[in-house]
Amino acid sequence: LYTAPALDLMTRDLGELAQLAGFAFGVRRLGRQGIEDLLRLMPMPVADLLDDWFESDALKAVLGGAGVMHLCQGPRSGGTAFRLLHHHVGSPPGVFRPPVSNIGRVLAELPGVELRRAAAVARIAVRAGRVASVALASGEEIPASLVVSGADPRRTLIDWVDPGWLDPEFIRAVRHVRCRGVVARVTLTIERAPGFSTLVVAPSLDYIERAYDDAKYGRVSRAPYLEARSDGVRSDGRHRVEVDVQYAPYALAEGEWDEARRRALGDLAVEVLARHLPGFGATVIERSVLSPRDLEERYGFPEGQAHHAELALDQALWMRPLPGWARYRMPIDGLYLCGPGTHPGGGIAGAAGANAARVILREPRRANRI
Q: What is the pLDDT of residues 154-179, one digit of tens each?
A: 999 999 999 999 999 999 999 999 99
pLDDT in tens, 234-265: 888 899 999 999 999 999 999 999 999 999 99
In whole angstroms, give the CA distance from residue 291 to residue 271. Answer: 18
pLDDT band at 36; cut points 50, 70, 90:
confident
Q: How many domains does the chain have?
A: 3
In whole angstroms, give the CA distance from residue 359 to residue 95. Answer: 27
Kindly tell me if the per-residue pLDDT of 365 is higher than 80.
Answer: no
Note the pLDDT of residue 367.
Answer: 41
SS3 117: coil
In a domain, 369, yes or no: no
From 91, 99, 94, select the one nearest 232 (Cα to Cα). 99
Note the pLDDT of residue 222.
Answer: 96
The enclosing domain of 338 has a CATH number of 3.50.50.60
In a shared domain, residues 243 and 319: no
In a shared domain, residues 210 and 278: yes
pLDDT in tens, 71-97: 999 999 999 999 998 887 655 555 555
Q: Cα Rg for the chain, rounded, in angstroms?
A: 22
In a domain, 97, yes or no: no
pLDDT band at 22; cut points 50, 70, 90:
confident
Kindly tell me if the per-residue pLDDT of 362 is higher than 90.
Answer: no
Last residue of a domain, one of 89, 112, 137: 89
In a domain, 296, yes or no: yes
In a shared domain, residues 38 and 24: yes
More confident residue, 231 or 159: 159
Spatial strand order in the sheet of 130-136: 121-127, 130-136, 141-143
Kindly tell me if the per-residue pLDDT of 368 is higher than 60.
Answer: no
Residue 130 burial (C-beta neighbours within 10 Å; 0-12, 13-18, 19+): middle
In a domain, 317, yes or no: yes
What mean pLDDT do residues 207-214 have? 97
In a shared domain, residues 119 and 133: yes
Q: Give the contacts of 107 (CB within 8 A, at least 6 positions apart).
A: 113, 115
Last residue of a domain, one of 259, 281, 304: 304
pTM of the model: 0.89
In a domain, 192, yes or no: yes
In whole angstroms, give the CA distance from residue 248 to residue 260. Answer: 14
In a domain, 366, yes or no: no
The domain in which residue 309 lies consists of 103-178+305-361
Last residue of a domain, one of 42, 62, 89: 89
Give CA torsion, residues 189, 249, 67, 231, to 10 deg: -10
Of all residues in the chain, what percent carry a pLDDT higher than 70?
94
In a shared domain, residues 342 and 323: yes
In a shared domain, residues 355 and 263: no
